[in-house]
Amino acid sequence: MAKTTKSGTSSKPAAETTDSEARSDRGERTPWANLKSEITELYEGRSRAATRFRYGLLAFDVLLIVFFLLTVPLQDPPWLIALDVVIAIPLILDFLARFWIARKKSSYLLQVTTIADVLIIVSLLLPLFFDNLAFLRVIRTLRLLRSYHVMRDLRSDLPFVKRNEELLHSLVNLVVFVFSVTALVFVLEAGANPQIASYLDALYFTVATLTTTGFGDITLQDRNGRLLSVVIMVVGVALFLRLVQTVFRPNKVRHTCPDCGLKVHDPDAVHCKHCGRVLNIETEGHR
């Protein structure tokens, strides 16, 4: 029987304490909290299991990028539509997991790569309900944006990537641009332009236009095609020159100075060239 206090209220015996209160007193967490903690560790932790998990995601991203590029010329046969649905399942799970563990969910949803992932998932599922959505093949090339995440993750694990980050970043910019524009050229011109009969023709035209070689054997004849050619030449040449510049420029490493904020330094720098602050740049320990 419960004791009656002086105020007239009865206090609960220890045996009547609820399970949730007992778990709270012992500092225990709910199964959902434990699951969220484990998923966060996989995506952000430094354990061996977390490292293997992220490398698995990197490999999946690379294979997915190659798959999307190779399937751009295909006309959505039934087997490809079924495979698209299968691919969409892990992408949806990955999106939901990242959203669940995100500290600022609104900021996560506004990221460029998040928007690209949502568009890709939609592009994989829409062919189930609609036909002849050729533009979806262009949207899927947005997965190339994941190349920046791949490089960022490899930077923390591979010294080569960290030493040559500027060069690799310029190379990724150029590759993303070339293949995205190639997919756009193929989808817009294939069937309408007899000179663009295959994905290889579109790639050949893109590279020839980007390098301003302009052999003239393949041209885009309508107004939109000519406008696209101008964009390819202007943007493509700028990206190509940027790549050449980073090839001949001495190697630099990214390390933000805590005082002045200078981000780029020599690999063996001890002091910041701008303010003189002592830097603690991680190195391999030898040259």
Cβ neighbours of 175 (radius 10 Å) = 15
- What does the chain come to in residues? 287
Nearest to 235 by CA among 212, 219, 255: 212
Nearest to 206 by CA among 188, 224, 187, 233: 233
Q: Supply the pLDDT for residue 286.
A: 45
Once rounded to an integer, what is the mean pLDDT over residues 93-109?
90
- Confidence band, pLDDT 50/70/90 cuts, at residue 214: low
Q: Supply the pLDDT for residue 17.
A: 45
Query: What does the alpha-carbon distance between residue 132 and residue 12 come to, in Å, rounded to a whole number?
Result: 68
Residue 57 clears pLDDT 80, i.e. is over it: yes
Average pLDDT, the chain: 76
Assign 3-class secondary structure to 79-127: HHHHHHHHHHHHHHHHHHHHHHHCCCHHHHHCCHHHHHHHHHHHHHHHH
Residue 26 clears pLDDT 60, i.e. is over it: no
Q: Supply the pLDDT for residue 197.
A: 79
pTM: 0.61
Once rounded to an integer, what is the mean pLDDT over residues 169-193?
81
- Confidence band, pLDDT 50/70/90 cuts, at residue 6: very low
Residue 287 clears pLDDT 70, i.e. is over it: no
pLDDT in tens, 58-87: 788 878 878 877 776 676 678 888 888 898
Residue 199 clears pLDDT 70, i.e. is over it: yes
